[in-house]
Structure 1
């Protein structure tokens, strides 16, 4: 069984936004997800943890990783620039507890009910002749576009259904109940895919580097209870996260003791 660790750090919001702005990592009015993705990659290199979740200034940043605390601290010591380490709160000080790492359970009893919170990007792929893999569409809007009863299908119900499908398809868990505790539409930055290259190693076939692209979409936090169906599959689900944009702050399943009966 692959080990699983939970890491936590307490970024300084002002310092981190300044760092992200200097590097062009903030979409207009957008989310910090891409900036944290870039920061974690800069600090930990190939060991960068995902999925991760930055809730707010008080809660800080949480992430799951299969790598050991020693390996992560060595990587951050070698890779992290002083200003970025300070912005992420990696070193203990008056305003930060530093980088904390602890082991997380990797075995789960089938049938156990757990409480959860998860921030997700609930999108589906719609068919598009001009897009090989289809386009991402808000999971709430697709049924309406197909003339479903708009008064019956509420956004919350659509997202809860979306989450239940993903838990079931993984074979890891089943949804007991869930509710939407936060919703907003947010832009995220993605980089365009590079082409075959012209030998310069800096971009696509025209020699252009990958360009940032802003994508607007749903950003929801769902809370509720789930039932573990398979221990190994559930541990794998925790390591990889749920849904799209897992490397950008979505999909990390936060667990807590159940507040309902099994």
Structure 2
């Protein structure tokens, strides 16, 4: 598959009005949920995925970055044929841009920096007891909490999350842990299937080395971790990082 990195400016207030008119989040807006529905209605389900909304502090506008098999021209053609005025006010179609990431872009042992927003969670294969009650099999919980409950050993959040990321890179790439860090963490409540889920929200900055270029391209197109169609899991590539 030919991969394209897509960039599109977005007006936050218009997105909030659009989501409010559809009662998404019921008064407590989950921007990931809103963008999941918005991008699906404008371009089709999964056409721009994974994606990441980047907003500067106190800014009224943001930028969506995403991966797609479609070019900017093709995406504009899709949206121009179906998007109503309310959606056109959210997204500036004329400013939508893309750049191709064809096969051969990445080579084995190539070092790349990255900026990654993830929900570092795991699904339980079996029930587990916690201090606040019992977690059923199939429950989605913080990877740090899951490890602590299983082993009784409290490691640092960064160590656990970097192990979690290493496992999800698989054979596609190797994580350089000497130049990778947990840049930010907070607990954030999201809305999925009408239910509110509390969980970890992390940003990781670091460097990786491509191991298998084909699998790495597939990883970019697929994304990392869960909730990839809600604004998580996109590997935004950068020059290799150096930690001070």
Secondary structure, aligned partner of 1:88: coil
- How many angstroms does 1:11 deviate by? 1.1
5+ residue gaps, structure 1: 92-97, 192-211
The answer to whether the aligner puts 1:104 opposite 2:104 as a matched pair is no
Tell me if structure 2 keeps the 8 A contact 1:123–1:244. yes
Tell me how far apart the structure 2 counterparts of residues 249 and 115 of structure 1 sit (CA, whole Å). Answer: 19
**Which residue matches 1:226?**
208
Tell me if structure 1 keeps the 8 A contact 2:39–2:45. no
**Which residue matches 1:180?**
182
Tell me how far apart the structure 1 counterparts of residues 209 and 197 of structure 2 sit (CA, whole Å). Answer: 33
Quick check: 122-131 or 106-115, which moved more?
A: 122-131
Secondary structure, aligned partner of 1:146: helix
The answer to whether the aligner puts 1:149 opposite 2:147 as a matched pair is no
- How many angstroms does 1:132 deviate by? 9.3
- How many angstroms does 1:220 deviate by? 0.5
Cα separation, partners in 2 of 1:224 and 1:105, compared to 1, 3 Å: farther
- How many angstroms does 1:221 deviate by? 0.6
5+ residue gaps, structure 2: 128-133
**Which residue matches 1:190?**
192
Indicate the structure (1 or 2) with the bigger Cα radius of gyration: 1
Which residue of 141, 144, 154 maps to 1:140? 144
Cα separation, partners in 2 of 1:173 and 1:79, compared to 1, 3 Å: same
Q: Which runs of 4+ in 1 moved over 4 A?
A: 27-30, 128-133
Tell me if structure 1 keeps the 8 A contact 2:76–2:93. no
TM-score by length of 2: 0.86
- How many angstroms does 1:106 deviate by? 3.5
- How many angstroms does 1:133 deviate by? 6.6
Please tell me the root mean square deviation across aligned C-alpha atoms, in Å.
2.1
Cα separation, partners in 2 of 1:38 and 1:50, compared to 1, 3 Å: same
- How many angstroms does 1:118 deviate by? 0.5
**Which residue matches 1:196?**
none
Secondary structure, aligned partner of 1:11: strand
Secondary structure, aligned partner of 1:60: strand
- How many angstroms does 1:105 deviate by? 4.5
Tell me if structure 1 keeps the 8 A contact 2:47–2:70. no
Tell me how far apart the structure 2 counterparts of residues 67 and 131 of structure 1 sit (CA, whole Å). Answer: 41
Number of residue-to-residue matches in the alignment: 229
**Which residue matches 2:8?**
9
Secondary structure, aligned partner of 1:24: coil
Which residue of 122, 125, 130 maps to 2:123? 125
Tell me how far apart the structure 2 counterparts of residues 132 and 65 of structure 1 sit (CA, whole Å). Answer: 36
Tell me if structure 2 keeps the 8 A contact 1:123–1:136. yes
**Which residue matches 2:36?**
37
TM-score by length of 1: 0.81
Q: Which structure has the highest strand share of the two?
A: 2
Tell me how far apart the structure 1 counterparts of residues 7 and 102 of structure 2 sit (CA, whole Å). Answer: 16
Tell me how far apart the structure 2 counterparts of residues 122 and 27 of structure 1 sit (CA, whole Å). Answer: 26
Tell me if structure 2 keeps the 8 A contact 1:113–1:258. yes
